[in-house]
């Protein structure tokens, strides 16, 4: 059974960061935001993150967007287990890779 769907319908190319956003894969878990603020501010916050997760209407569906402060460090990509944010052509999150490598990615911890 595949962890991620093979096909998605909408991929947004964020010109400033160079990242890809796939709204239909975002579950709104907020890990990207907490990781971002850990790296940038040494604290865990949702509102203070350089990535915002906007709810679409009244649904539990979300669109990630990057704020002007984002410096494209990409730590959020590493922590998105759903690959809703990714780098073109190289879009494996640490977790998805770890799954395949059966834990060998454990050495790659963030600063």
Partner 1 sequence: MSAIEHGFMGRMLWVDLTTKSIRTTPLDAEEVLFWGGPAGLNAKLAYELIPAGADPLGPDNTLIIGNGAFVGTTVPAASRPVISAKSPQTRLYATSSPGHFGTMLKMAGYDYLIVGGRAERPVFLKLIDDDVTIEDAGQLWGRDVYETTDELWLRYPGSWVGCIGPAAENLTVYGSIIFNKYSVAASTGLGTVMGSKNLKAVVARGTKSVRVADPTRFMRLAHETHVEVMSGPHIAEWRELGTLIQHQSSVPGAASQMDRVGFDMDAWIELYRTKLHKGPLASPQCPVGCKAMLELHGKQFPITCPNGTLTLPFALYRGTPPARYVEIAECAQLCNRLGLSTLVVSQLIGLSIELWEKGAIGPEMTGGLVLEPGNPAVMKQLIEDIAYRRTALGDALASHLDDCLARLGEEAAKYPIHKGVLASIDERLTWTEEKRWDVHTFSQRVDPRGPVAENAYISLAWIPDRSEAQIRRYLAKIGVPEEDINQIATGGTDGYDLAKLTRWVEYYNLVLSNVGSCQRSFISKALPLQRIVELYRTATGLDVSADDLLLTAERALVMERLFNLREGLTREVEIGGTSHVRPEQVDQLNHLLDEYYAYHGWTRDGVPTRDTVRRLGLERYAPVPRSVIA
Q: Restricting to residues 37-56, name those near partner 1 by CB under 8 A.
A: 37-38, 41-48, 54-55
Task: Please name every residue paired with 55 in a beta bridge, in sequence order, or none if there are none.
Answer: 62
Q: Restricting to residues 5-34, name those near partner 1 by CB under 8 A.
A: 5, 24-25, 27-31, 34
Residues whose CB is less than 8 angstroms from the CB of residue 42 and which lie 6 or more positions away in sequence, other chains included: none
Q: Smallest Cα–Cα separation from 77: which of 96, 62, 99?
A: 96
88: which DSSP letter? T
Contacts to partner 1 by CB under 8 A: 1-3, 5, 24-25, 27-31, 34-35, 37-38, 41-48, 54-55, 58-61, 79, 81-82, 94-96, 98-99, 101-103, 105-106, 109-111
């Amino acid at each position: 059974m595949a962890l991620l769907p093979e096909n998605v319908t909408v991929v947004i190319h964020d010109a400033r960061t160079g990242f890809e956003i796939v709204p239909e894969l975002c579950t709104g878990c907020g890990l990207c935001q907490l990781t971002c603020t850990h790296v940038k501010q040494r604290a865990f916050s949702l509102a203070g993150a350089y990535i915002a997760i906007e709810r679409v209407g009244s649904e539990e569906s979300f669109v990630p967007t990057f704020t002007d402060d984002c410096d494209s460090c990409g730590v959020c990509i590493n922590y998105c287990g759903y690959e809703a944010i990714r780098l073109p052509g190289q879009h494996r999150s640490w977790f998805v890779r770890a799954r395949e490598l059966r834990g060998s990615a454990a050495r790659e911890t963030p600063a």
